[in-house]
Amino acid sequence: MSTEDPLPGYGGRLRDLLESKGARVGCRVRIIREPGEIIEGILMPKHSLSNPRTIIVKLDNGYNIGVDVESVKEFCVIECREVKRASTTKLAMDSSKPLVTIIGTGGTIASRVEYETGAVKPVMDPEDLVELMPELKEIARLRTFVLFNILSENMTPHHWEMIASKVHELLSEDPSQGIVIAHGTDTMSYTAAALAFSLQKLPRPIVLVGAQRSSDRPSTDAALNFVSSVLASIELKVGEVVVCMHGTTEDTYSLAHRGVKVRKMHSSRRDAFQSINDVPIAKIYPRERRVIITTSRYIPPHRPEELEARIGFDDRVALVKAYPGFQPEIIDFLVDRKFHGIVIEGTGLGHITEQAIKSIERAVQEGIPVVMTTQTLFGRVNMNVYTTGRKLLSVGVIPGNDMLPEVAYVKLSWILHIDRDMNFVKRMMLQNLVLEMNPFHRVDLFPRWFHG
């Protein structure tokens, strides 16, 4: 007999009610609150922050709702299906297909709802992936590793190091294999930048992929993104880290964005990711099995023996946003706490209140590099135009050109782990290492929705 809790998260009188009706998570239930108001769906588990009086039900449309038990007039169990035992049969992979290794780190794309139990389960076995996306077995031979399973907001520089080390190990073992990293979307661009600086002169693309909507929802983007990423890892002939996500709100194609030039621009849209001050490297049409490079500006693949790995990040770097009324003591606090580097997400062409200049000068004099970026995202800093910018340059602030603030933050963290000499840091920050900066003659590109 299973020792698993049949009603995880439920307690007290609510648990007594559910048990008296023979309910368990995964059962189909019917709730009547008022005459004519009937709710049917799958009983779901609860997390520790749920209201203790709430029953969680997954509706047939894929969405979860909470029902206050005090409003329930009638509750009954319609059906409780037997929990399927996990299959021990291993999927026979076609040895003639190219090998693609998938590294799991967590996030929506690496999970699905198991309706027999109502729980969200990680989906990182090849068999599970093919069950959800049968077309994968026609494209590649899959191998998976779960490196860790965390929410992307909990990523740290140490996690970047773990991912980079695993990728380096895999490429050293077999540089011909495709590599896909399943990752939460919220901080995916940070990890992409970290990998781009850590692993240079790549023999093939390293592909990060995520999902905005879980696989149990009718509007999920997981399948298209995942199949596209596997295809890109095999067919995309570049030597860069890329982020592969929906290209439109439709299930037509995905885009491969340069890892140091991409940002999540919407909290929930399926096409949330956009190349900033750049264009996507490629379009991927998974149904047609086509990968089309869309720009002439990319890093080509290098020979396997040319791979350069410098893995490590300084976790004493801060990213600070400028705002009206910015308090200079924020900079002083970082100096006093012995931070090693500061990136400022400045206004416009790269500004912050003049009252902060003295504190910034103190930081630089004490050997703490300060880098200026712009919160407008599109465009670049130009600190020679206005007085404030020129004053910031005169006290030693390093202009970040058109680097995204998070990319400048990752780059500075990576450089400081190598050497904290100020001249070395400035030289490296101004050097275009993996196309994280664009030349001045390139036309700035605006978001697609600005064009109607």
Q: What is the pLDDT of residue 107?
A: 75
Say whether pLDDT at 302 is over 50.
yes
Residue 126 or residue 264, greater confidence? 264
Q: What count of Cα atoms within 13 Å lies in the side-chain half-sphere of residue 54?
A: 16
Say whether pLDDT at 392 is over 80.
yes
Tell me the two tokens of residue 438: 């664009």
The CA distance from 101 to 111, in Å, is 17
Mean of the per-residue pLDDT values of the chain: 88
Query: Which residue among the candidates 46, 58, 101, 108 is catalytic per the annotation?
Result: 108
Q: What is the pLDDT of residue 448?
A: 54
How sure is the predictor about 92, in pLDDT bands with cuts at 50, 70 and 90? low
Most confident stretch, 131-145, 232-246, 260-274: 232-246
Question: Is the pTM of the predicted complex or chain greater than 0.85?
Answer: no
Query: Which residue among the candidates 46, 137, 261, 264 is catalytic per the annotation?
Result: 264
How sure is the predictor about 110, in pLDDT bands with cuts at 50, 70 and 90? low
How sure is the predictor about 34, in pLDDT bands with cuts at 50, 70 and 90? confident
Tell me the two tokens of residue 321: 């946003």
Where do you find CATH 3.40.50.40 in the chain? 317-429
Q: Yes or no: say if 216 and 108 are a contact pair by the CB < 8 Å rule.
A: no
User: According to the CATH classification, is domain 99-309 in 3.40.50.1170?
Assistant: yes
Tell me the two tokens of residue 10: 């439920």
Query: Which residue among the candidates 101, 117, 144, 185 is catalytic per the annotation?
Result: 185
Q: Is 186 a catalytic residue?
A: yes
Residue type, 261: K
Q: What is the pLDDT of residue 165?
A: 98
Q: Which of 138, 160, 93, 118 is nearest to 27 (CA)?
A: 118
Q: Is 185 a catalytic residue?
A: yes
Q: What is the pLDDT of residue 7?
A: 87
How sure is the predictor about 87, in pLDDT bands with cuts at 50, 70 and 90? very low
Q: What is the pLDDT of residue 1?
A: 36
Q: Report the percentage of the chain scoring pLDDT > 90.
A: 65
**Residue 58: CB atoms within 10 Å:** 19
The CA distance from 243 to 275, in Å, is 10
Q: What count of Cα atoms within 13 Å lies in the side-chain half-sphere of residue 268?
A: 1
Q: Which of 117, 156, 138, 145 is nearest to 8 (CA)?
A: 117
Residue 452 or residue 432, greater confidence? 432
Q: What is the pLDDT of residue 449?
A: 44
Opening angle at CA 433, ends 427 and 437, nearest 5: 90
Q: Is 388 a catalytic residue?
A: no
Q: Yes or no: say if 33 and 72 are a contact pair by the CB < 8 Å rule.
A: yes
Say whether pLDDT at 216 is over 70.
no
Most confident stretch, 23-27, 277-281, 442-446: 277-281
Query: Which residue among the candidates 186, 314, 332, 421 is catalytic per the annotation?
Result: 186
| pLDDT, average across residues 69-77 | 91
Q: Yes or no: say if 351 and 345 are a contact pair by the CB < 8 Å rule.
A: no
Print the SS3 string covering the chain: CCCCCCCCCCCHHHHHHHHHCCCCCCCEEEEEEECCEEEEEEECCCCCCCCCCEEEEECCCCCEEEEEHHHCCEEEEEECCCCCCCCCCCCCCCCCCCEEEEEECCCHHHEEEECCCCEEEECCCHHHHHHHCCCHHHHCEEEEEECCCCCHHHCCHHHHHHHHHHHHHHHHHCCCCEEEEECCCCCHHHHHHHHHHHEECCCCCEEEECCCCCCCCCCCCHHHHHHHHHHHHHHCCCCCEEEEEECCCCCCCEEEEECCCEEECCCCCCCCEEECCCCCCEEEECCCCEEEECCCCCCCCCCHHHCEECCCCCCCEEEEECCCCCCCHHHHHHHHCCCCEEEEEEECCCECCHHHHHHHHHHHHCCCCEEEEECCCCCCCCCCCCHHHHHHHHCCCEECCCCCHHHHHHHHHHHHHHCCCHHHHHHHHCCCCCCCCCCCCCCCCCCHHHHC
**Residue 34: CB atoms within 10 Å:** 8
How sure is the predictor about 223, in pLDDT bands with cuts at 50, 70 and 90? confident
Say whether pLDDT at 450 is over 50.
no
Q: Cα 133 to chain center, whole Å?
A: 21
Q: What is the pLDDT of residue 250?
A: 87
Q: What is the pLDDT of residue 259?
A: 98
Where do you find CATH 3.40.50.1170 in the chain? 99-309
**Phi and psi angles of residue 351, each rounded to the nearest 5 degrees, phi first:** -125, 160
Residue type, 298: Y
Residue type, 407: V
Tell me the two tokens of residue 60: 């047939």
> Quick one: CATH architecture of 12-79?
Roll (2.30)
Q: What is the pLDDT of residue 134?
A: 82
| pLDDT, average across residues 297-319 | 97
CATH assignment of 317-429, given 3.40.50.300, 3.40.50.40, 3.40.50.410, 3.90.1150.10? 3.40.50.40
Say whether pLDDT at 214 is over 80.
no
pLDDT, tens digit, 9 for 90 and up, residues 142-178:
998 889 888 889 999 999 999 999 999 999 999 999 9
Q: Which of 403, 408, 323, 404 is nearest to 370 (CA)?
A: 408
Where do you find CATH 2.30.30.520 in the chain? 12-79
How sure is the predictor about 13, in pLDDT bands with cuts at 50, 70 and 90? confident
| pLDDT, average across residues 53-76 | 87
Q: What is the pLDDT of residue 90?
A: 54
Say whether pLDDT at 80 is over 60.
yes
Q: Report the percentage of the chain scoring pLDDT > 70.
A: 87
pLDDT, tens digit, 9 for 90 and up, residues 309-347:
999 999 999 999 999 999 999 999 999 999 999 999 999
